[in-house]
Copies of this chain bind each other. A is one copy, B any other.
Amino acid sequence: VKAWSFIDKVGLANLQEVERPMPKAGIGQVVMRMKAVALNYRDLAIARGHYHVGVEAPLVPLADGIGEVVAIGNGITRLAIGDLACPTYMPGWIDGPVTPRKALRRLGGPNDGTATEYFVAHEDELVIAPKSLTAAEAATLPIAAVTAWHSLFEKASVPPGSTVLVNGSGGVSTAAIQLARAAGARVIAVTRRAAHAEGLHIAGAHHVVVYADADWTIEVRRLARDGVDTVVDVAAGPGIAQLLSVLLPGGDLHLIGYAAGTAAEFDMFDAIRRAITIHFGSGGSRSSFEALVRAIDVNTIKPIIGRRLPIADLVAGYALLAAGGQVGKIVLEFAD
């Protein structure tokens, strides 16, 4: 069966289609025929060699995806042949808060990921996809939407009527907009690209503020009166100081991406005076994913897909992600 793999060395130049043996379902395992996978910024960082934690070739990339169960081993109780299911990004994190042991394995690096025609996993490491979504939509959930869910509702909370500011227009950002809106929050989206404003409104933002030469924080403060309760940021980098400046005293900043750089550059005196909490993190448990599935089905949330490509165009997908021209996720589909 076909898979995509970094050969010899991790890097886009070495990402090739390879032939591998058909996997078998051991005790407690299931085999899925993959229907779609999706890209995350993390996949790009790994492919560029910017992610130096135990990631080595050969490696099958990607963590997002969905497949149809085509074979089951002995002792399977949670799934059946024909079910559509998604893998979990950190397969060892079933429930509760993260621990070193739970965070060890990660799909797409250091462990083999979802860019493969057939994917085998223990049944405990899979989640049945939301009934209300297409396969392509559900393929986008494992990293971005689970991260947004875990941050907004499990690390902190988003009571109805609170104000959530979301930075960016990628998969985590659009998932955060949709989930915060479903929870009854007032949602302000901030983006560098005027072309993304319409997409962010469609995702559910009440207000979209486009960066310009002028200080965007003035407009946010006008919209939010005193300030915002919660910020979801995927960029990190030098913009943090501005994000902190629009938070209310006691507010929460979720820092779940580093697209603009990893160096923290902000003044801690102001953060102390205003009693800010910064929640760093990425991913969530299988239990978080299952709660997300319920939220999607009850609120008919449709993940935003920016581009759909055949899996054969995987390398082109990475380039699109790097260019950042779309709102939402880039999905790569397998032929039926």
Interface residues of A (CB under 8 A from B): 27, 53, 94-100, 103, 153, 155, 157, 159-162, 179, 182-186, 206, 226-227, 236, 248-250, 255-258, 262-269, 271-282, 285, 287, 291-299
Contacts and interface: CB of A to CB of B under 8 A. Distances in A.
A145 B159 CA distance: 15
A250 B27 CA distance: 31
A163 to B, nearest CB: 8
A295 B96 contact: no
Contacts of A103: 249, 273-275
Contacts of A297: 161
A236 B264 CA distance: 13
A292 B98 contact: no
Given A99-B248, A103-B249, 16 more contacts: A94-B95, A99-B249, A99-B250, A100-B227, A153-B157, A153-B160, A160-B179, A160-B183, A160-B298, A183-B184, A184-B298, A236-B268, A263-B267, A264-B264, A264-B271, A278-B278
A281 B272 contact: yes
A273 B282 contact: yes
